[in-house]
Amino acid sequence: MKFSKTSQLFLVSSVGLAVAALLSACQLVTIDYVFVASSAATATSPNGQIDTFASDSQSGAIRKGAPTVSSGGVDPVAMTVTSTYSDLYVANAGSNSVVHFAIAMNGVLTQKDAVTLAAPPVSLAVDSAGANLYVVSGSTTATLSVFPLSSGAIGSPTTQVALQIPGFTSDAVVPTGVNVLVSNSNVQGAAVFATAYDLSAYNPGGTTTSTAHPGWVFGFSTGAGGTLTPASGSPYQAGVKPTAVVSDPTDRFVYVTDFASNQLIGYGINEGSTLNFLINGPFKTGNEPQAVTIDPRGKYIYVANSLDSSVSAFLIDLATGTPSAAVNPTGSATNSTDTQPMAIAVDPALGRYVYTANFLGNSVSGFRLDPNSGSLAPTQATPYPSDAKPTAIAIVPHGNHSIENVVP
């Protein structure tokens, strides 16, 4: 068949319009930047690496964004960002350092300054005002340090407190997590909570020399200049081997994962920093829960189970704080990740996507969060390759998008 020039022009125009429409429909719109710290050294450097991924608004799929940068030290294990999403802090356990990066609007990280600690940093958190950085460090002696921040820059520590077990002050204690309350209108004052376990009392495969209870969470109220005042009754028992701690957006509840007992322990917060067990806990998770996060609306809890390579999902009873597994009635194994998830986070822009950093999978797994039920479904093309042995994850919203932060 032979077409006239007019027909050919019409055909070409039609095809061009169809292709343009298809490309427009498939256009990727970035809502978040997902930072993933990987601990394996490279061929040219012993330092860890930080990958930057861009998260798509429609599918939750992530793709490589800004160039990968050095973590500024050896063996990164944790990351946190300020509430303004302008600064990122990385704990490098292998070099006893905490490194500060500025976050550009396009997701590019620029290393700014760093501090060196006496012992390996394990976990870190920033208060909502961006005034103080809280770091727990140590491998046999646990310390909670408070570093003042000035336009994101890290100053010299103003407060350092030893985390010791009452009656067993000579025991070896290993810190595992730290969390600072949002300090909103529901709670007067601010507080910080740190988890640790007694290595002298809990030492699988080794000897024990103490009869102390093994797992603990320490509570402190915070004051001007970074001062810390122990909460009444602190420290509080926290299972056998607590691994992570998180608080809900209303500062009413604290949750701790217990790696050794495969459970989530819940606490109510009284008088700003005092903890009381939720009466119907603890709550069953998958095997070896390693990390925990709460969605920005404060309705759902997600736990990364490192041995199961899965995510447990819970619905929070907003009146009592009780986590209900009704979100996931067929069991946590349905939310399968790649091998050994070590960190977990929910995107702040829409509160619609959950990501895990998978240590042995060398990858990131993604899930779509149903805001009405809390259930999870795999995102498109998950899992996504990362650098080797990822250990930490942090997410910031793209500058053109609002932040999902709805108080229940």
Q: What is the CATH number of the domain that holds 103?
A: 2.130.10.10
Q: Is the pLDDT of residue 404 over 60?
A: no
Q: pTM for this structure? A: 0.90
pLDDT tier, 406 (very low <50, low <70, confident <90, very high otherwise): very low
Residue 23 maps to a domain: no
Q: What is the mean pLDDT of the chain?
A: 89
Q: At residue 127, does pLDDT exceed 80? A: yes
Average pLDDT over residues 374-398: 96
Note whether residue 88 is domain-resident: yes
- The whole-angstrom separation of Cα 169 and Cα 78 is 27
CA dist list (Å): 343 to 168, 309, 348:
31, 11, 16
406 or 377: which leads in pLDDT: 377
**pLDDT score recorded for residue 221:** 93
Residue 3 lies in a domain: no
The pLDDT value recorded for residue 18 is 42
Q: How many separate domains does the chain show?
A: 1
* Other residues' Cβ atoms within 10 Å of the Cβ of residue 378: 15
Instruction: Say which residues have a Cβ less than 8 Å from residue 224's Cβ, sequence separation at least 6.
Output: none
| Residue 274 counted as domain residue | yes
Q: Does residue 151 belong to any structural domain of this protein?
A: yes
Q: Are 352 and 400 in contact (CB under 8 A)?
A: no
* pLDDT of 190: 83
- Bridge partners (DSSP) listed for residue 125: 134
CB-based contacts of 302, cutoff 8 Å, min separation 6: 292, 293, 294, 295, 311, 312, 313, 314, 344, 346, 354, 376
What is the tens place of the pLDDT at every residue in 137-166? 999 999 999 999 999 999 999 999 999 999
Grouping H, G, I as helix, E, B as strand and the rest as coil, residue 104 is: coil
Which stretches within 281-395 are classed as H helix? none
- pLDDT for res 214: 98
Residue 33 has pLDDT above 50, yes or no: yes
pLDDT category of residue 328 using cuts at 50, 70 and 90: low
6 domain-assigned: no
Flag whether 402 is in a domain.
Answer: no
Q: How high is the pLDDT of residue 181? A: 92
Q: Is residue 10 part of a domain?
A: no
Can you give the pLDDT at residue 400?
A: 53
Q: The domain containing residue 226 runs over which residues?
A: 32-397
